[in-house]
């Protein structure tokens, strides 16, 4: 069933090399997209209504890499209660999207990001629901970071192991009914947490480049739009 390498151990050097290769972009992102995805388009609006950036912030613990995910507070404007990568909207004072990702991560998680090394960027993603074009980055911190989430934006922060992300058994798909329509929702499961939607699509591209493939478990024999 799987046409992918099952090795889930990833070194920092392997990540550096992977991020230098051409990015698969949408081909990888859509493998973890909700189907159908209302308002989706292959072309990213230009100019985009809103722009922001997020960060996959890798840290090493006990010889393995992990990264934080956040459960958004119910008081934020969009995507209330959903799981996301730390990040947010670009502000006028931000000189780059990289700076946006670092600033927002610092604010949301209550950490200093001065020593964070940006390893590379992933493909930007348009989110029809909120009208945001999101620029994802992958970074690495040599220091162990202790999260102190801002309760105004983050209800909870937890660490996601990178090797768990690369394990095909982490991917589950469920079908939901909403207003009489069926939606197929693939998600990464980290314990009690389900990571779906735009965050899963961003992580899918990271998974794809680390595996050297744009296909995820079960996708080779599934047509887009099928449940």
* Structural domain contains residue 219: no
Contact 16, 119 (CB under 8 A): yes
Whether 220 is in a domain gets the answer no
Q: Would you say residue 217 lies in a domain? A: no
Other CB atoms closer than 10 Å to residue 109's CB: what's the count?
23
Q: What are phi and psi of 62, to 5 degrees?
A: 55, 40
Predicted local confidence at residue 81, as pLDDT = 66
Instruction: Give the whole-angstrom CA distance, residue 59 versus residue 50.
Output: 29
13 dihedral zone (left: phi>0; alpha: psi -120 to 50; beta): alpha
- Model confidence pLDDT, tens digit, residues 97-121: 999 999 999 999 999 999 999 999 9
In a domain, 118, yes or no: yes
pTM of the predicted protein model: 0.87
Q: Which of 212, 213, 223 is nearest to 14 (CA)?
A: 212
At 80-102, the pLDDT tens digits run 568 999 999 999 999 999 999 99
Residue 24 included in any domain: yes
Q: What is the pLDDT of residues 154-172, one digit of tens each?
A: 999 999 999 999 999 999 9
- How many structural domains comprise the chain? 1
Q: Is residue 178 part of a domain?
A: yes
Length of the chain: 227
Q: What is the number of H-type helices and E-type strands within the chain?
A: 5, 11
Mean pLDDT of 40-58: 92
Rg (CA), the chain: 17
Range of the structural domain that residue 54 is part of: 12-37+46-212
Q: Residue 56's domain is classified under what CATH number?
A: 3.90.79.10
111 belongs to a structural domain: yes
* pLDDT per residue as tens digits for the range 70-79: 998 766 555 5
Q: Is residue 76 part of a domain?
A: yes
Q: What is the pLDDT of residues 189-223, one digit of tens each?
A: 999 999 999 999 999 999 999 988 444 344 433 33
Decide which of 227 and 161 is more confident: 161
Distance set, CA 222 to CA 166, 205, 216, 218 (Å): 20, 18, 11, 7
């Amino acid at each position: 069933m799987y046409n992918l390498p099952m090795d889930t151990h990833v070194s920092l050097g392997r990540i550096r090399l992977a991020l230098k290769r051409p990015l698969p972009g949408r081909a990888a992102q859509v493998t973890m997209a909700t189907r159908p995805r209302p308002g989706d388009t292959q072309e990213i609006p230009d100019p985009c209504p809103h722009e922001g950036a997020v960060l996959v912030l890798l840290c090493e613990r006990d010889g393995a890499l992990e990264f934080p995910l956040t459960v958004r507070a119910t008081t934020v404007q969009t995507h209330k209660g959903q799981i996301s990568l730390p990040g947010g909207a670009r502000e006028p004072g931000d000189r780059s999207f990289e700076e946006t990702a670092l600033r927002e991560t610092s604010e949301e998680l209550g950490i200093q990001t001065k020593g964070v090394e940006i390893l590379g960027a992933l493909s930007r993603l348009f989110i029809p629901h909120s009208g945001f074009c999101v620029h994802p980055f992958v970074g690495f911190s040599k220091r162990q970071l202790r999260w102190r989430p801002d309760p105004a934006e983050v209800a909870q922060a937890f660490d996601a192991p990178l090797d768990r992300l690369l394990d095909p058994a982490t991917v589950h798909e469920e079908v939901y009914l909403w207003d009489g329509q069926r939606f197929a929702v693939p998600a990464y499961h980290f314990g009690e947490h389900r990571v779906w939607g735009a965050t899963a699509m961003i992580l899918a591209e990271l998974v794809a480049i680390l595996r050297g493939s744009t296909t995820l478990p079960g996708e080779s024999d599934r047509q887009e739009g099928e449940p």
